[in-house]
A and B are shown apart, each in its own frame.
Chain A
Amino acid sequence: MQSVLDLEVLNELVEIMGDDMAMLLNSYFSDSQNKLDQLAKMDWQTEQETIFRMAHALKGSSRNLGIVGFSDMCESIESQARANNLSQNDFDLSALNQHFKAACAELRERYL
């Protein structure tokens, strides 16, 4: 299976966080799940400002954890929403969730 993670980033992160890596991952999992759940309730047409902030946050934390594909998707949503230019096509929550789950699974397997 091909990795969905940037292992170089993660190796450095392990070095930084040491024993707190698990705490960081768990905090990331619950924060991000939270945000994804909120995104699911958003109206893509009227709440683009909030969607922009959510996607921005998800992108930021995911990139720090080397989750490449998922953070790229978040970034694309972020930039469309920021310009108030989001289309239903862009706002593909099932693809987003799928990427998130895959990343979480691999992170769990490698670091927990």
Chain B
Amino acid sequence: MKILIADDNNTERLILSRVLENIGHEVVQAEDGPTAITQFDNHAPDLVFLDVLMPGYDGYEVAEIIIKESTRPWFPIIFLTSLTEASDLAKCIDAGGDDFVSKPINRIIIKAKVDAFERIINLYDTVAEQRERIQFHHEHLVQEQEAAKKIFNNIAHRGCLESDNIHYHLSPMSIFNGDLMLAAELPMGGMRLMLADFTGHGLPAAIGALPASEIFYGMTTKGFSIPDMMVEMNTRLYNVLPRGVFCCVIVFDIDSLGHRLTIWNAGAPDSYLIDQKRNSIQLIHSVHLPLGIQSPQKFEINCSEFEFTEHHKLIAVTDGIIEATDHNSEMFGEKRMLECIKNASTDMSICDKLLSEVGIYCGELDQADDVSILEVGFPGKSNMAVTSLQDSTVTVSGTSDSVISLRLRGQSLGNFDPIPMFLQTLLACKELMPHRARIFTVLSELYNNALDHGVLSLDSSIKNDPQGFAKYYQQRAQGLKELDVGFVNVSVDHRPTATGGELIFELTDSGSGFDVEEIVKKENQNYSGRGLPLLISLCDSIEYLEDGTRVQAIYRWDHDDIRD
């Protein structure tokens, strides 16, 4: 070590120097206070011996200056003193000294003290070095997280979360506490939303967000149903997630044409379906294990269906809000949450109300980072306008002159949803992209009518109240399960015309048909039926043949339809 000795007494300074040199240290000497400070600046010693009584500045003053000038977090100073009174010795420590040795100099004590200080200095250096290293790694980590966040946010983007009917709270770093909120418009209007909570924190929790988002946006735009999408998502997560990491999820479609909520809760806290007109709240419980746990062979999904209108709201949360704790580590809990939702007034969003309540509950413990809340109202009537799409990458005119036809029989009617397949194939013709919402709607309405009212003979008027709504979909699921005969034949004939093209949809079903005229008359007063008025408004012509077991609808499109 390099040691500075400041002592005006030559004899003592010489002896101490020699003692220190003899045990291998480098010594710098000063014979008064000002010289001590100059030597300190010039030589940057590791340790200083200071005589208390010196001309110029005394030892106390020198100590003060040295401590002020030193750039180290700690600089060791040992006072040399022949003073023996306790108050004099205490003053050495008060002045910033770390120890004192009394004169005359005893080489054994000097060596012991210097050795002890050397160990402390080394410890300090190690700590400083490690601190620097930790700081470096920390900065590196923050940079990486920032970069990762950008990538994640591009893939797991928020979709249409900013729509007017949605209020939500999600921390900017939510991706790293495993929360994910996605929203996309459904091809036939309405919305699909998903709130997911991956176990764990940091990058491991975020990794599953990538495949989940990709599948969500990819399959939603292509018109896949929630069960199809969740089967795919579970399979992917089951394969990619490490053991112990899984994903609680709540996913739902709001069909704005059918005023229907299709919802599935897998491992997430209860969701709340609020009917503001009837002033009732229905809890939607988890009905399945979280994603990523069950093997694809065992995975089975049954959605629940509810009526959803302008008077309804849905609240979905992750466990962050329920597990938020107050000063006594007591959780906010589901009871308080339900109470808060019940008492919510209409002039404030329930999301904001919940946030402020949980904020008050937790006091200054800021836990908002872990809280994700999604509040969704009715999205309004779907926009069926012909829209131009910027992101179409499909090649020109792929299927502009083609016939696609498919016949589904028996169990396949329940197990396979043909709409996405038809849509995908048709959209290989780039010119149809602006018409996708209309085509999707026409096709799915026609198909669902053929299946529900044709093959399964369900009565759409059951759906006129909430209980009936659930009953209808129960009957439908039951019917599909028991189906072993019956068929639906779908054929789409796409032909070019002088100015664009025409799509001729033709569906035949094995049902017993219906009285077309009467249904059309009834449906003009009621929206939850077969959607015939909508079909009529979208298509150029629609014709029921063979007692309503066969329908032919023509949809014409024109190159000039695309308007911004």
Contact = CB atoms under 8 A, between A and B. Distances in A.
B425 to A, nearest CB: 99
Interface in A23-38: 23-24, 27-28, 31
A56 B15 contact: no
Q: Which of B15, B19, B22 has the most CB of A within 10 A?
A: B15
Contacts of B105: 64
Nearest to A71: B104
B11 A20 contact: no
Contacts of A59: 82
B82 A64 contact: no
B19 A16 contact: yes
A57 interface: yes
Given A56-B53, A59-B82, A16 B107 contact: yes
A17 B12 contact: no
Interface string A1-42: 000000001001100111010011001100100000000000
A12 B15 contact: no
B174 to A, nearest CB: 69
Given A16-B19, A59-B82, A28 B11 contact: yes
Contacts of A17: 14-15, 18
Nearest to B105: A64
Contacts of B445: none
Contact of B12 (A9, A16, A20, A64): A64
Contacts of A31: 9-11
A12 B10 CA distance: 18
B103 interface: yes
Given A53-B53, A56-B53, A61 B107 contact: no
Nearest to A28: B11
A27 B14 contact: yes
Contacts of A57: 8-9
B104 A64 contact: yes
A103 interface: no
B82 A16 contact: no
Nearest to A13: B15
Nearest to B19: A16
Nearest to B82: A60
A53 B8 CA distance: 11
A65 interface: yes
Given A63-B103, A64-B105, A16 B22 contact: yes
Contacts of B10: 27-28, 31, 61
Interface bin, chain B: 10 to 19
Contacts of B103: 60, 63-64
B82 A56 contact: yes
A24 B11 contact: yes
Nearest to B7: A60
A65 B9 CA distance: 13
B18 A60 contact: no
Q: Which of B22, B104, B107 has the most CB of A within 10 A?
A: B104
Interface bin, chain A: 20 to 34
Contacts of A61: 9-12
A82 B335 CA distance: 79
Contacts of B18: 16-18, 20
A60 B104 contact: yes
A65 B82 contact: no
A108 B53 CA distance: 29
Given A17-B15, A27-B14, A64-B15, A12 B104 contact: no
Contacts of A13: 15
Contacts of B107: 12, 16
Nearest to B11: A61
Contacts of B104: 9, 60, 63-64
Nearest to A82: B83
Q: Which of A23, A57, A65 has the most CB of B within 10 A?
A: A57
Given A57-B8, A64-B105, A24 B14 contact: yes
A16 B15 contact: yes
B151 to A, nearest CB: 68
Contacts of B12: 60-61, 64
Interface string A44-75: 00000000010011011101110000000000
Given A53-B53, A59-B82, A64 B11 contact: yes
Interface in B272-301: none
A13 B103 CA distance: 14
Interface string B1-42: 000000011111011001100100000000000000000000
B27 to A, nearest CB: 13
Contacts of A12: 107
Contact of B14 (A18, A20, A63): A20
9 contacts: A12-B107, A16-B22, A17-B15, A59-B82, A61-B9, A63-B103, A64-B103, A64-B104, A64-B105
Closest 4 CB pairs of A and B: A61-B11, A63-B104, A64-B104, A28-B11
Given A12-B107, A28-B10, A31-B10, 19 more contacts: A16-B15, A16-B18, A16-B19, A16-B22, A17-B14, A20-B14, A24-B15, A28-B11, A31-B9, A31-B11, A53-B53, A57-B8, A57-B9, A59-B82, A60-B9, A63-B104, A64-B11, A64-B12, A64-B105
Interface of A: 9, 12-13, 16-18, 20, 23-24, 27-28, 31, 53, 56-57, 59-61, 63-65
Interface of B: 8-12, 14-15, 18-19, 22, 53, 82, 103-105, 107
